[in-house]
Amino acid sequence: MKIFTWVENFLRELDGYRDKILIAFIKPFWPRFITPNHLTWLRVFISIALFILLFFYGVTDKVLILSLFCVGILSDLFDGSVARGLNKVTEFGAMLDPTADRLLILPIAVYSLYTNEKWLLLVLLLMEILNAVTSIFYKSKEIYFESNIFGKSKMVIQSVVFVAILFVFPNAPNEIFIDILWISAIFTILSIFSRVLELNQKGHIKNKALFKEHKHENI
């Protein structure tokens, strides 16, 4: 548990530095008519466009696909910092952000991994489904919802790796990129564990009550 806490605090500190740098730029220069939710919705629309281009029209223009994906990544980089820098944090935006992240990664993951890395793709998809279910349960307890630091770190790792993979696609990516994607699945597990741990600390998981009831029956 100490290692888990240390890693979480370390990642939070790194993310805090990134946030401060971006906010220092955002406050004086960011166009006020572009809201954080505009950036998040842009990521959703890019995700839909990628699905259509890749799987309905079979577009193989690497420059187009990579450009759209990179714009989506930039929208993810800025939307949270814009929200905090301009004091426009909303619960809806915090809920939409991780959903938009998953939508952005999904078409690229399927497109680039399905042929040669089916098991990796399956694990990534299952982890995201489990993470989404955990998030829905988390929100059902009326707890303020936003991406935790492990989810953010996973998104950064996968974004960088998929950009590298798209550069060489349809050639097979270097094994180091595949290994890093396997590691990113661990961050998804840590994200789920972090949510479960918080739910347990707030008393929303009733395992203790069940244990006491079972113990009483044995007596």
pLDDT tens digit sequence for 129-178: 988 887 777 666 655 556 688 989 999 999 999 999 999 887 888 899 99
Whole-number CA gyration radius for the chain: 19
Tens of pLDDT, residue by residue over 84-142, are 999 998 888 888 898 899 999 999 999 999 988 999 999 999 998 988 887 777 666 65
Residue tagged 């270097």 (tokens): 174
Nearest alpha carbon to residue 22 among 73, 83, 75, 81: 81
Q: Which amino acid is at 107?
A: P
The whole-number pLDDT of residue 144 equals 55
Q: How many domains does the chain have?
A: 1
Whether residue 151 contacts residue 12, with contact meaning beta carbons closer than 8 Å, is answered with no
The whole-number pLDDT of residue 65 equals 95
SS (H, E, C) 90-154: CHHHHHHHHHHHHHHHHHHHHHHHCCCCHHHHHHHHHHHHHHHHHHHHHHHCCCCCCCCHHHHHH
Nearest alpha carbon to residue 66 among 182, 169, 171: 169
Of the chain, the percentage scoring pLDDT greater than 90 comes to 60
Mean pLDDT, range 46-59, rounded to an integer: 95
Give the structural domain span for 81.
2-218
Residue 56 has pLDDT above 50, yes or no: yes
Quote the pTM value.
0.85
The whole-number pLDDT of residue 209 equals 45
Confidence class for position 50, pLDDT limits 50, 70, 90: very high
Mean pLDDT, all residues of the chain: 86
Residue 200 has pLDDT above 50, yes or no: yes
Whether residue 40 contacts residue 96, with contact meaning beta carbons closer than 8 Å, is answered with yes
Residue tagged 């998804």 (tokens): 188
What distance in Å separates the CA atoms of residue 50 and residue 125, rounded to the nearest whole number?
17
**CATH number reported for the structural domain that contains residue 57 in this entry:** 1.20.120.1760
Nearest alpha carbon to residue 184 among 133, 125, 137: 125
What length is written for the chain? Answer: 219
Residues 6+ apart with CB under 8 A from 71: 42, 46
